[in-house]
């Protein structure tokens, strides 16, 4: 019996990462293989249907898989997550010379967001705005940058385009994860004084490794044990861990997804049974 995991090929490095991890896992006695998906929706469906045993899920994919599993009476477990998946924030940014000091100053403004299915650059920031009385079609104009739709924001393409539009004066504010704001400054897109954060979301969690109803409990436990045991001091693993953006795996938790669950409901993105509701979402 082999533990079969799904991962979304949002970048060519995904192949390098999981080929390397596969060698490590097999060398340590775990029968393991993986398959790649072009988007998260099919991966979530296949996990709940038992066509794969585990899925390296985005936060939005976790929300959908959890809802699909609830409707099917199936059990999922958030097995592990990266140290970098915990307690993240999204930010709403304006130009440094803007007179906007708080969210109330965005009444009537144009706000740039990421792709339609990006938790960090669209769903969560729009929920924050909505909770402050600012909504598309009422007192906000939303300009969406649909890069990599279906990848659930597992890239910075849409966020970078929104940031460029902000600097160019095409939007009054832009939404992104805080790490992207720092990245864009390092890249030179922002200077020290060219942007200013006026609001941030509450902390939330990002990806998790989810096991599904077909996962053999013994293999799943060994999978968890081996991932948690990966050491950044291991020279052969370090480059793979760097590519995957972590130094250590941590036990999975689900307490950090409540804000995204609420944002999904507010936007009518998924139904309670995991059905795709968003009219303009075509992965």
Summarised one tens digit per residue, pLDDT across range 214-243 is 999 999 999 999 999 999 999 999 999 999
Greatest distance between any 2 Cα atoms in the chain? 62
198-211, pLDDT tens digit by residue?
999 999 999 999 99
pLDDT band of 91, cuts 50, 70, 90: very high
Tell whether the model's pLDDT for residue 85 goes beyond 90: yes
β partners of residue 88: 204
pLDDT of residue 26: 98
Angle of the 235-244 helix axis to the 13-27 helix axis, nearest 10: 140
Q: E strands, the chain, where?
A: 3-8, 32-37, 54-57, 77-82, 90-95, 110-113, 141-144, 173-177, 195-200, 208-211, 249-251
CA distance 226 to 229: 5
Can you tell me which residue has the tokens 């993105």? 269
pLDDT of residue 8: 98
- Give me the percent of the chain exceeding a pLDDT of 90: 97
More confident residue, 167 or 154: 167
24-60, pLDDT tens digit by residue?
999 999 999 999 999 999 999 999 999 999 999 999 9
Question: In terms of DSSP bridges, do strands 110-113 and 54-57 run parallel, antiparallel, or are they unpaired?
Answer: unpaired
Question: C-alpha distances in angstroms, 204 versus 149, 201, 246, 263?
Answer: 21, 8, 17, 12
pLDDT of residue 158: 95
158-206, pLDDT tens digit by residue?
999 999 999 999 999 999 999 999 999 999 999 879 999 999 999 999 9
Q: Which domains does the chain have, with CATH numbers?
A: 3-85+205-267 (3.40.190.10), 90-200 (3.40.190.10)
DSSP SS3 for 212:
coil
Cβ-based burial of 137 (10 A; exposed 0-12, middle 13-18, buried ≥19): exposed
pLDDT of residue 192: 79
DSSP labels for 95-122? ETT-S--SGGGGTT-EEEE--TT-IIII
Task: Judge contact between 181 and 190, C-beta under 8 A.
Answer: yes
Across the range 54-81, mean pLDDT stands at: 98
β partners of residue 200: 91
β partners of residue 175: 92
Tell whether the model's pLDDT for residue 132 goes beyond 90: yes
Q: Which of 135, 4, 8, 2 is nearest to 59 (CA)?
A: 8
Task: Judge contact between 118 and 90, C-beta under 8 A.
Answer: no
């Amino acid at each position: 019996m082999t533990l079969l995991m799904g991962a979304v090929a949002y970048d060519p490095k995904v192949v390098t990462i999981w080929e390397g991890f596969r060698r490590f896992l097999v060398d340590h006695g775990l029968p393991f293989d993986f398959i790649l998906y072009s988007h998260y929706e099919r991966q979530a469906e296949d996990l709940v249907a038992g066509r794969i045993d585990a899925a390296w899920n985005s936060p939005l994919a976790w929300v959908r898989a959890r809802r699909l599993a609830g409707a099917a009476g199936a059990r999922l477990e958030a097995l592990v997550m990266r140290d970098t998946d915990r307690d993240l924030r999204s930010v709403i940014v304006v130009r440094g010379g803007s007179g906007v000091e708080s969210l109330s100053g965005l009444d009537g403004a144009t706000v740039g967001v990421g792709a339609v299915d990006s938790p960090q650059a669209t769903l969560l920031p729009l929920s924050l705005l909505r909770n402050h009385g600012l909504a598309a079609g009422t007192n906000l104009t939303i300009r969406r940058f649909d890069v990599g739709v279906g990848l659930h924001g597992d890239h910075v393409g849409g966020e970078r385009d929104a940031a460029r539009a902000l600097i160019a004066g095409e939007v009054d504010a832009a939404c992104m994860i805080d790490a992207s704001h720092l990245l864009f400054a390092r890249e030179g897109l922002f200077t020290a004084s060219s942007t200013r954060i006026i609001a941030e979301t509450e902390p939330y969690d990002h990806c998790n490794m989810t096991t599904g109803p077909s996962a053999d409990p013994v293999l799943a436990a060994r999978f968890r044990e081996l991932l948690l045991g990966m050491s950044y001091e291991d020279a052969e693993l370090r480059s793979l861990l760097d590519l995957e953006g972590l130094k250590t795996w941590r036990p999975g938790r689900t307490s950090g997804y409540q804000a995204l669950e609420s944002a999904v409901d507010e936007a009518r993105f998924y139904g309670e049974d995991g059905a795709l509701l968003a009219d303009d979402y075509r992965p």
